[in-house]
Amino acid sequence: MLGAAGMLAAPSMTVARSGSPSMTVVRSLEATSRQSQTARLISGEIPGASPDHHMMSPTGNIGKRASFPYVNHSPNPSREFSGSIGNVAWKERVDGWKMKQDKGTIPMTNGTSIAPSEGRGVGDIDASTDYNMEDALLNDETRQPLSRKVPIPSSRINPYRMVIVLRLVVLSIFLHYRITNPVRNAYPLWLLSVICEIWFALSWILDQFPKWFPINRETYLDRLALRYDREGEPSQLAAVDIFVSTVDPMKEPPLVTANTVLSILAVDYPVDKVSCYVSDDGAAMLTFDALAETSEFARKWVPFVKKYNIEPRAPEWYFSQKIDYLKDKVHPSFVKDRRAMKREYEEFKIRINGLVAKAQKVPEEGWIMQDGTPWPGNNTRDHPGMIQVFLGHSGGLDTEGNELPRLVYVSREKRPGFQHHKKAGAMNALVRVSAVLTNGQYMLNLDCDHYINNSKALREAMCFLMDPNLGRSVCYVQFPQRFDGIDRNDRYANRNTVFFDINLRGLDGIQGPVYVGTGCVFNRTALYGYEPPIKQKKKGGFLSSLCGGRKKASKSKKGSDKKSQKHVDSSVPVFNLEDIEEGVEGAGFDDEKSLLMSQMSLEKRFGQSAAFVASTLMEYGGVPQSATPESLLKEAIHVISCGYEDKTEWGSEIGWIYGSVTEDILTGFKMHARGWRSIYCMPKRPAFKGSAPINLSDRLNQVLRWALGSVEILFSRHCPLWYGYGGRLKFLERFAYINTTIYPLTSIPLLIYCVLPAICLLTGKFIIPEISNFASIWFISLFLSIFATGILEMRWSGVGIDEWWRNEQFWVIGGISAHLFAVFQGLLKVLAGIDTNFTVTSKASDEDGDFAELYMFKWTTLLIPPTTILIINLVGVVAGTSYAINSGYQSWGPLFGKLFFAFWVIVHLYPFLKGLMGRQNRTPTIVVVWAILLASIFSLLWVRIDPFTTRVTGPDTQTCGINC
């Protein structure tokens, strides 16, 4: 595909035509000079089109321009101009390695170098040389670590561990009793119940023991500033590329995406270190136009929030705060500026909503741009790649004349016959585009509805990633997800507090939390499949070996003072940056053939783009000094072509991993299997906030998608049960990943266990035999240990009992509906090859009233199993009670045990029942009346007929006479 490139600094768009069978949209805000700012956009050949070039501003002004665009007519334009970029960048990298070996300094992409004491990230700096004690510029404070672990107080964690061990012992005795004491008159029911209980026990072990070492962390932003961001000096903070993904502007409103982008552009971080990339995988002109409006509003919004240091920096959520906005704002002009900015934002919302209203009806001829040319993305399944740079470091200025972060619109090429891999493919395209254009050392990915709630979130992450000791082995920093717009009672456990505040904190004490899809800052090197540097560790005791797992390493000595450890594992590919360095250092530096062969080997892995391959070798990010913006934009178009990933390791070992709709879990698992560790960062002010589907049907569909992804991983080659043994994945970390992929299977025994109480009530049988007083002690001990585990877990984590209980309730609701469907859909995909398309979760703010969406009823087949179980248990309670009334006093004792389990099911399904009823205080009376009527009729008929009971009609007088 013929790429197109240009440079511009004004907020305008130029359309040009050249001889190529495809159309490409490119826009850049890089200025050719401060005095002369130009803009070019090159598209493919259009029959009958004139060679005139039209410039169109976002406001619709059209003018003529006489400049002629650059057109490359070579058969493979990418290879023609990228070869020179790649070769120069490769030589620059080699020269950097030589300088580092000679002088002991670290080359930077801007041509300068810093001492090892100021080094950062994954590199060749040994931990012992991270601090130069003779450096007079560094005081004692700058030598301090940027973060530290804060262990849970022993008074809280030790009782918790003791109860876990005690519960394990009681559980073993309980299962032994259940297996050795079968119920003869209800053998099938007893056998099913015992199988379910054994599965629940194994599931509990997989879920509980990875939480054995929970920790907290503290960050020191002042030390970070002293080390890397001193006042009056150029900032040495690492560059960050921020990714925002969207696909359907009808389900993901442009206003929501705009707020996310505005919070990114206003983040408290050096402007020249931030770049925002928005992926529009639906190629929607609505998204494109909304971003153009957003970039214009950002010129006013960003200086306002930075001047008054307001939080949060997403305007929708800032203006909706019900707080005293005058608090701590003593500036006399604040009230006036705030009112003016609120008016500006209301006008901005009107413009965005106008675009949405206009987009409701698609014209028959497709969308037309303001210069009269067709929108390239009219066919969402067959369109060229598009890149538009709305703001840039050298051209996009705010109303006060300050620079703004770069804002780039990206829509990757799509053609029929190619596998595009949904969100994972779009994210990998963003990785490549960002590597070519800016190549930030770290990357943050956000969903379009997750805005930056804490403007210092990036600095929080840098306290771990740029720490000279810790950061070298960290693949990503995961932040917890927090949500707006959820009802106070959190009926369907949308906040997932137990998972984010308990499970992930427990994993942080082992090898790190799993990647949960958004709010995660990545080390770019880790995403490229490279391995982390390995530190020689002292031998530990039993607990350390339990958490550390097995490690196999082979030592090789290079030189007199250079030692490295290399991991050998047939199931995990080894992309070791040190191996590449050693190979180049061992060859002659003037040997062009050796350099070319090394470059070609990397192109087989990363794809046919010399410029991109060169960017992967930049340890500290940045682009080659010799590269021009024009050539980089053309190369960016090349790396988002739909065939770029063919015969490469993208999606299998590099970038976001394909093969599951939950690509986040799989991607994080591959990194941990290579030996990387992750960090869980929980600042006091939540770093990011998003919206969650609070409607019952939408919530179940969301859970279905997550569970289906786990099932896909379970039946793939990446299943944690067998993948990566002999590697660097820690033992308890593997437990956590096994639990993450196997938990949907629990839906089958859970469904059985929820049906058993109703069957027992209807048949008069029970799954537990008559127990002695001694045996009853173990039953009571088991229930007490379950409650004690939950209470102590809430005590050390700070999770409230209401949140814990909602989580328990939705575990049952989701287990017998979404998880169950996920298991069958996953089996269909594996056995029959039937792929299931999932729908994008709708993102919307609560603008129609007090949680109006919460009470909205949307029918889906996911509602059938819980509804059925709820009805049969209610009927069973009525039938069992009626039968006990008619049978006499002796039948009440066994009834209580059956009722206990039935009420356990009904209480857990109570939020589901409220969801079926609709809005509070608006319960449909007819539903209640019919439910009571049918249950009463059925119970009376059941007592009268009762097919499960053998009727005794009296003795046979012909056989035994009157003496019977």
- The binding site for UDP-alpha-D-glucose comprises 245, 251-252, 281, 422
Dist CA 28 CA 8 (whole Å): 5
The sign of the torsion formed by the CA atoms of 245, 249, 254, 256 equals: negative
Q: Which one of 241, 569, 664, 698 is the catalytic residue?
A: 664
Structural contact between residues 943 and 878, judged by C-beta atoms closer than 8 angstroms? no
Dist CA 327 CA 892 (whole Å): 64
The b/e string for 154-191 (b: 16+ C-beta within 10 A; e otherwise) is eeebeebeebbeebeebbeebbebbeeeebeebeebbe
Structural contact between residues 175 and 749, judged by C-beta atoms closer than 8 angstroms? no
The sign of the torsion formed by the CA atoms of 914, 917, 918, 919 equals: negative
Q: Beta partners for 374?
A: 368
Dist CA 910 CA 315 (whole Å): 37
H helices of 675-772, in order, are 696-714, 731-742, 747-763
Helix (H, G, I), strand (E, B) or coil at 400: coil
> Residues annotated as binding site?
245, 251-252, 281, 422-423, 447
Q: Alpha-carbon dihedral of residues 387, 30, 520, 457, nearest 10 degrees?
A: -140
Residue type, 878: V
Residues 6+ away with beta carbon under 8 Å from 416: 381, 382
Dist CA 689 CA 480 (whole Å): 9
Q: Beta partners for 147?
A: 219
Q: What are the structure tokens assigned to 646, written together?
A: 């063919």
> Residues annotated as binding site for Mn(2+)?
423, 447
Taking CA 30 as the corner, what is the angle to CA 25 and CA 32, rounded to the nearest 5 degrees? 115
Dist CA 762 CA 800 (whole Å): 37
**Whether residue 664 lies in the annotated active site:** yes
Inter-axis angle of helices 801-815 and 892-908, nearest 10: 100
Q: Alpha-carbon dihedral of residues 467, 470, 472, 473, nearest 10 degrees?
A: -150
Segment holding 55, helix H or strand E: strand 53-56
Dist CA 439 CA 239 (whole Å): 8
Phi-psi region of 607 (alpha: psi -120 to 50; beta: other; left: phi over 0): left
**Whether residue 229 lies in the annotated active site:** no
Q: Which one of 281, 289, 501, 698 is the catalytic residue?
A: 281
Of 87, 13, 92, 34, residue with least CA distance to 631? 87
Positions annotated as catalytic residues are 281, 664
